[in-house]
């Protein structure tokens, strides 16, 4: 098999993976980062990484777990970079480098970064349950089916995940002035 034929085969395989998993990957990354544009950018980085090691991905029966792990690693790295950068930006400056920012945009960026950091502290099963419930808009029974558990098990897992977020030290202080009803 010549090199040109191998490259054509790699392109065909990558196109198949992109067609099947790109939208799902972008949703997953957007859930982790809280930003759809960043998710699109990071998805491109994931596909570049997949291109370099496509044999490993294609040879798997179900490539989604590996793609999700690569996506998770990229998103986690991006969120960590944003957190480090946000600590270096003076409060009067915009986190996006476009001059002075109003307090609402600073708070919105801070909340998003804190939420992403808090989500990263949850177990992978809790993250998956929240992703399915709030990003994929599945009801509790469907979350349970998707995760091979009962509706009651899914409800308990979602409840624990939401409680962990409520108690997260990363989010402490964001709702102090609001009355939250359950």
Residue 150 has pLDDT above 90, yes or no: yes
The two tokens of residue 56 are 């490993």
- Tell me which DSSP letter residue 59 carries: T
Residue 111's pLDDT band, with cuts at 50, 70 and 90, is low
**Does one domain contain both 112 and 156?**
no
Quick one: pLDDT at residue 102?
Answer: 46
Domain ranges, residue 81: 3-120
Boundary of a domain, candidates 97, 120, 143: 120
Most confident of 105-109, 114-118, 144-148: 144-148
Which is higher by pLDDT, 90 or 11? 11
**Does one domain contain both 100 and 136?**
no
**Does one domain contain both 100 and 11?**
yes
**Does one domain contain both 109 and 21?**
yes
In a domain, 177, yes or no: no
**Does one domain contain both 105 and 135?**
no
**Does one domain contain both 53 and 88?**
yes
User: Whose CA is closest to 67, among 90, 92, 48?
Assistant: 48
**Does one domain contain both 77 and 21?**
yes
Mean pLDDT along residues 72-99: 63
In a domain, 178, yes or no: no
Mean pLDDT along residues 8-19: 85
Which is higher by pLDDT, 170 or 14? 14
**Does one domain contain both 110 and 140?**
no
Domain count, the chain: 2
CB distance 139 to 146 below 8 Å = no
In the chain, the percentage of residues whose pLDDT exceeds 90 is 14
Rounded CA separation 159/162 (Å): 5
Boundary of a domain, candidates 120, 135, 151: 120
In a domain, 180, yes or no: no
Residue 148's pLDDT band, with cuts at 50, 70 and 90, is very high
In a domain, 176, yes or no: no
In a domain, 182, yes or no: no
Quick one: pLDDT at residue 72?
Answer: 82
Mean pLDDT along residues 121-150: 88
**Does one domain contain both 94 and 130?**
no
In a domain, 181, yes or no: no
Residue 81's pLDDT band, with cuts at 50, 70 and 90, is confident
CB distance 40 to 26 below 8 Å = yes
- Give the C-alpha distances (Å, rounded to integers) separating 111 from 62, 73, 99, 119, 130: 35, 21, 20, 12, 18
Residue 96 has pLDDT above 50, yes or no: no
Quick one: pLDDT at residue 160?
Answer: 93
Quick one: pLDDT at residue 166?
Answer: 80
**Does one domain contain both 23 and 75?**
yes
Q: What is the pTM of this model?
A: 0.49
Quick one: pLDDT at residue 55?
Answer: 61
**Does one domain contain both 151 and 164?**
yes
**Does one domain contain both 36 and 80?**
yes
Alpha-helix residue ranges (DSSP H) falling in the chain: 3-33, 36-52, 54-58, 64-88, 103-120, 124-130, 140-146, 151-167
């Amino acid at each position: 098999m010549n090199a040109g034929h191998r490259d054509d085969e790699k392109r065909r395989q990558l196109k198949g993976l992109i067609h099947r998993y790109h939208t799902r990957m972008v949703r997953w990354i957007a859930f982790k980062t809280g930003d759809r544009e960043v998710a699109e950018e990071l998805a491109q980085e994931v596909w570049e990484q997949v291109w370099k090691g496509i044999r490993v991905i294609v040879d798997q029966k179900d490539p989604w777990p590996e793609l999700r792990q690569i996506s998770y690693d990229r998103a986690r790295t991006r969120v960590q970079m944003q957190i480090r950068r946000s600590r270096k930006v003076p409060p009067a400056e915009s986190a996006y480098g476009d001059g002075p920012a109003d307090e609402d945009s600073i708070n919105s960026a801070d909340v998003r970064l804190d939420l992403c950091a808090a989500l990263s502290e949850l177990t992978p099963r809790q993250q998956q349950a929240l992703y399915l419930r709030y990003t994929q808009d599945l009801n509790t029974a469907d979350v349970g089916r998707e995760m091979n558990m009962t509706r009651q098990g899914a409800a308990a897992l979602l409840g624990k995940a939401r409680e962990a977020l409520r108690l997260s030290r990363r989010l402490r202080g964001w709702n102090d002035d609001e009355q939250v009803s359950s």
